[in-house]
Amino acid sequence: MSGPTESTVDATVDVPSGRPARTATPAPGDPGLARLSLNQKTTDRWSVAEAVAGCVRAGLPAIGLWREPVRAIGAAAAARLVADAGLRVSSLCRGGFLTAADPVARARALDDNRRAIEEAAEVGAACLVLVVGGLPEGSRDLAGARERAADGIAELVPYAARHGVRLGLEPMHPIFCADRGVLSTLGQALDLAERFPAEQVGVVVDTFHVWWDPDVLAQIARARGRIVSFQVCDWITPLPPDALLSRGMMGDGHIDFRLLRRAVEAAGYAGDIEVEIFNADVWAADPDAVVATLSRRHVAEVLDD
C-alpha cells in the first residue's frame, strides 16, 4: 500500500495485459484526466481511504464509491475523505435487487434501498446506481420480475427525491438477465425512467452492457437529459470463465469507446467517465498500476485522437 504522495508503479507496462504501454501516463493536471473517475470496484482491494489516495496520486478528479467499503467506515467518514481530497463522487453503487415476489424479501429490499439513498445523499453522489435484480429462485416469470422491479422503483422515487438523490437505472447485458438484472436494454430502461421526472430517474450507460445493441445509438440519443452516469470497460474474448468477472481494460477487447462516448456527449452528457472493471486479473494487479493503465487507456481509447 502506497501513501498518498508516492507511487512505485512501472509506468511502461499495461496491466493486466503485460504489454508495453503505448503512451505516457497522463500526469495530474493533464486535461485528459479532467473527467476521469475511478469506480472503486476496479481496485477492489483498496479501502475508500486507499482509493481516494490513489485517485489523488494519479490526478483523477472523481471516484465511484461502493456501499460495502463505504459502510465499513461509515458514510460520514467516507464523505469527509472525498471532500478533503477534493474529489467528486460520480456514483454510488448500488441499490436495486427489487424483483423478489415474497413480501418479506421485498420489504427488506425496499428498506435496504432507502439506506442506499441516504448513503448516496451523505457522500454527495451524482447518482445512485440501481441494478434491478434477476429472476427469483425457481421462477421463470420474466415479465413478472420486470413489473415488480418497476413497482419498486416507483416506490423509491419519492424517498430519493426527498433526499435529493438521482436514481440511475442500469440496463445490464443479457448475460445477466437470469441472475442480476432483468432490465436488459437501454430502451427498456428508458421506458421505465420516462415514467418519472428526468431530475429524479435517469439511466446508466455502461459500455460493457450496451455495446452490442443494434439500437444503442438511437437509444442514447433518446436518453438526452437522462444519462446520469457513463461507465466504461471492454468486452474481451475468450470470455473469462466467471461471467461476473468478464470485463476488460479499455483497449483489450472489442468495444468502440469513442463511438459511444461521442454519442453520450451528443446527447448532452458532460459528466464523469467512470472506469468500472470486474476482472480477477485486474484485481490481482497492483492497484496503482491499474489506475496508471486505465488513465493511459482512457486518453488513448476513449477520448478523441
Q: How far is the CB of 20 from a copy of itself (least distance, A)?
A: 18
Alpha carbons 122 and 160: distance in angstroms, whole number: 12
Q: Is 239 in the site for a copy of itself (CB under 8 A)?
A: yes
Q: Is 242 in the site for a copy of itself (CB under 8 A)?
A: yes
Residue of 147, 199, 212, 284 that binds a copy of itself (CB under 8 A):
212
For residues 251-280, which are near a copy of itself according to CB under 8 A?
A: 253-256
The runs of H, that is alpha helices, within 42-141 are: 48-58, 67-73, 75-85, 103-123
- Other C-beta atoms within 10 Å of 69: how many? 18
Q: Which is nearer to a copy of itself, 51 or 145 (CB)?
A: 145
- Phi and psi (nearest 5°) for 12? -105, 0
Q: How far is the CB of 243 from a copy of itself (least distance, A)?
A: 5
* One character per residue 24-53, x = contact with a copy of itself (rule: CB under 8 A): ------------------------------
- Other C-beta atoms within 10 Å of 96: how many? 28
The C-alpha cell at 140 is 421463470
| H/E element, 157 | helix 142-162
Stretch that binds a copy of itself, among 8-16, 159-167, 230-238, 283-291 (CB under 8 A): 230-238
Q: Are 279 and 245 in contact (CB under 8 A)?
A: yes
Residues that bind a copy of itself (CB under 8 A): 135, 140-142, 146, 173-175, 177-179, 184-185, 187-188, 211-214, 235, 237-239, 241-243, 253-256
